Amino acid sequence: MSRPESELAAGDHIFLAFLLWGPASAYDIKKTMAVSVSYFWSAAHSQVYQQANRLLRGGFIKEKEAPGGRRKRILSLTPKGRRAVTGWLASPASFPEFRNESLAKVFFAAHGDLEKIRAMLLDQRDHHVSQLAEYEGIRKLLELADNPEVPYELMTLRLGIAVEQTCIAWADEVLKDLDRKIRSGRDSGRERRGGSARK
Amino acid sequence: MSRPESELAAGDHIFLAFLLWGPASAYDIKKTMAVSVSYFWSAAHSQVYQQANRLLRGGFIKEKEAPGGRRKRILSLTPKGRRAVTGWLASPASFPEFRNESLAKVFFAAHGDLEKIRAMLLDQRDHHVSQLAEYEGIRKLLELADNPEVPYELMTLRLGIAVEQTCIAWADEVLKDLDRKIRSGRDSGRERRGGSARK
DNA sequence: ACGTTCATGTAAAGGGTTACATGATTTC
DNA sequence: GAAATCATGTAACCCTTTACATGAACGT
């Protein structure tokens, strides 16, 4: 799980970090997140507004109404906010947690319908393929950009891509295994109930 | 994010699924989770008790006091609970989300102290190495067991292992890159501030 | 002009974590 | 028999998600 904790959650620090790039509205941040860090962080659109309020209350950011008909609050870092980001960047990180519901279903597959599990996995595989394509697209864009941060962004992207590839390869392997089991199960008549003793 | 939703969260379904193996106390489930699905699911110890209460209220499980001095509530599936697990196993899964704070720090590394980032990454690498060792240990145990579920458990474990390996390889690569940057930064005097225009 | 997307939020509910507590077993 | 750890919980807090809303800009 987590370990450090200054007083702000990781998501809030990331929110603040985006303001290192310059002032932006909550909506801007949400949009930027979606195309830049989606492979390792995400937030519901409603959340960025709540984060903005929280961080405003805490004095980490300040706001300024933007001119124009459209109501738009431009957020920027206060000195306190900037210190918070810097401190965060210099401290250890919590360890990643993997939450993977599909793995849980495979784990308990002996108690379920293998064909359904197979369908679910195929769905997951499709998702990983499209994620991979998206990340490759981001990579193309990044490689064209000229900016001192790009090398770091590419580094993180490399992991995103590698993980997707790992997941796809894994899914293919498991899919093959499942097919074999399904076929052999069909050959030998209806499947057996698998409720043997454990532990 | 998520998609299905029967009315129970994924974690609750997983809780129920463990009861497919037979009656157990909340504590048993927590312990079992730690040595079997920790690489794709985890829960604070306090949570399993809350889940137990929730599922009890919902009629998915029933409890029975165990004999003996120690108070111990043995939980087991009700027909409704069993239906819930079965339905869950037969439905699509939500897509995995990766939450990785350390990647965020690398992403914004241009605004931080590279040596600190490097230290953080080393820490993360260590963690992945020890996770990997743990999973290999679980694999050894599983390979000795004789149980129709083992093949499925091994399948999921394979992904856990592959992901850790991917993370370690990635960390090594990035560590090398960072070292190079740190060294070249030192050679050419103090580092430059990286605040160039973006977008 | 009208529908759609953009942009902006609020409210409620809930899962999950941290912190707090405590009796029973085991260990030395 | 004291200490450690096992086993079992409760309470509070809060991040996060879902659902609900709404006005402005834009395309056609």
pLDDT at residue A68 above 70? no
Judging contacts by C-beta atoms under 8 Å, the chain A residues touching residue B118 are: none
Q: Is the dihedral of CA B149, B155, B161, B163 positive or negative?
A: negative
User: What's the CA gap between A117 and A115, in Å, rounded?
Assistant: 5
**Side chain identity at A176, as an amino acid letter?**
K
- Please give the Cα distance from B131 to B137 (Å, whole number): 10
Minimal Cβ distance to B14: which of A94, A104, A119: A104
What is the C-alpha to C-alpha distance for residues A146 and A149, in angstroms, rounded to an integer? 9
Work out the minimum CA distance from A21 to partner chain B, whole angstroms.
7
Is some CB atom of chain B closer than 8 A to the CB atom of A22?
yes
* Nearest-CA distance B85 → chain A (Å): 9
pLDDT at A185 > cutoff 90: no
**CA atom of A86 to C1′ atom of D24, Å:** 37
| Closest nucleotide relative to residue A44's CA, C1' based | D17
Q: Nearest by CB to B93, from A124, A162, A198: name it.
A: A124
What per-residue confidence (pLDDT) applies to B64?
83
pLDDT of B4 strictly over 60: no
What pLDDT, on a 0 to 100 scale, did the predictor assign at position A3? Answer: 45
A118-124: list long-range contacts, CB under 8 Å, 24+ apart: A118/A175, A118/A178, A118/A179, A118/A182, A119/B92, A120/B91, A120/B92, A120/B93, A121/A171, A121/A174, A121/A175, A121/A178, A122/A171, A122/A175, A123/B92, A123/B93, A124/A167, A124/A171, A124/B93, A124/B95
Looking at residue A173, its pLDDT comes to 98
Q: What pLDDT score does A67 carry?
A: 60
| Residue B130 in this model has a pLDDT that exceeds 50 | yes
Is A199 a residue whose pLDDT tops 80? no
How far, in whole angstroms, is CA B70 from its chain's centroid? 31
Tell me the average pLDDT across A124-133: 95
pLDDT 10s digits, B67-105: 655 567 899 999 999 999 999 999 999 999 889 999 999
Please state the pTM of the whole predicted model: 0.89
DSSP per residue, chain B: ------SS-HHHHHHHHHGGG--B-HHHHHHHHHHHTTTT----HHHHHHHHHHHHHTTSEEEEEPSSSS--EEEEE-HHHHHHHHHHHTS--PPPEEE-HHHHHHHTGGGS-HHHHHHHHHHHHHHHHHHHHHHHHHHHHHHH---TTHHHHHHHHHHHHHHHHHHHHHHHHHHHHHHHHHHHHHHTSSPPP------
By percentage, how much of chain B surpasses pLDDT 70?
A: 88
Between chains, do A94 and B117 touch, taking CB under 8 Å as contact? Answer: no
Model confidence at B186, in pLDDT bands (50, 70, 90)?
confident
| DSSP structural state of residue A74 | E
CATH class, B10-89 region: mainly alpha
CB contact, 8 Å: B175 with chain A? Answer: no
Residue B198 pLDDT > 90, yes or no? Answer: no
**Which has the closest alpha carbon to A171: B96, B150, B169?**
B96
Length of chain A: 199
Residues in chain B: 199
Q: What is the mean pLDDT of residues A42-68?
A: 88
The reply to whether B126 touches chain A by the CB within 8 Å rule is no
Distance CA A12, CA A14 (A): 5
Q: Using CB atoms, which residue from A99, A158, A162 is nearest to B40? A: A99
pLDDT over threshold 60, residue B194: no
With CB atoms and an 8 Å threshold, state whether B40 touches A91: no
pLDDT at B51: 95
Contact status, residue B92 vs residue A120, Cβ threshold 8 Å: yes
Q: Are B19 and B77 in contact (CB under 8 A)?
A: yes
Separation CA A137–CA A101 (nearest Å): 27
Neighbours of B3 (CB within 10 A): 10
**CB pair distance less than 8 Å for B97 and A99:** yes
CB A74 within 8 A of CB A64: yes
SS3 assignment, position A75:
strand
B116: contact with A, CB 8 A cutoff? yes
Nearest-CA residue relative to C1' of C7: A27
> Any alpha helices (H) in chain A, and if so which ranges?
10-18, 26-36, 45-57, 79-89, 101-107, 114-144, 150-187
Question: Which is nearest to B120 in space by CA: B111, B109, B110, B131?
Answer: B109
**Does residue A6 have a pLDDT over 80?**
no
Positions of chain D reached by protein Cβ under 7 A:
7-12, 14-20, 24-25
Mutation to test the A interface, candidates B1, B29, B152, most A Cβ within 10 Å: B152
Q: How far is A57 from chain B (nearest CA, A)?
A: 24
Test B103 with A37 for CB contact under 8 angstroms.
Answer: yes
Interface residue B172 vs chain A (CB under 8 A):
no
The Cα A44–Cα B84 span in angstroms is 28
Angstrom distance (rounded) from CA A97 to CA B171: 16
Any strand C atom closer than 7 Å to B2 CB: no
The pLDDT confidence band at residue B190, using thresholds 50, 70 and 90, is: low
Alpha carbon distance B112, A48 (integer Å):
23
pLDDT, tens digit, for every residue of A105-115?
Answer: 999 999 999 99
Cα–Cα distance, B75 to B62 (Å, whole number)? 6
pLDDT category of residue A66 using cuts at 50, 70 and 90: low
- Give the distance from residue B69's alpha carbon to the nearest chain A alpha carbon, in angstroms: 24
**Which residues on B lie below 8 Å from A159 (Cβ)?**
100, 103, 166-167, 170
Q: What is the DSSP-derived secondary structure letter of residue A147?
A: -
Ranges of each domain in chain B: 10-89, 101-187
B102 part of contact set with chain A, CB < 8 Å: yes
> Of A17, A20, A155, which is closest to B174 when you measure between CB atoms?
A155
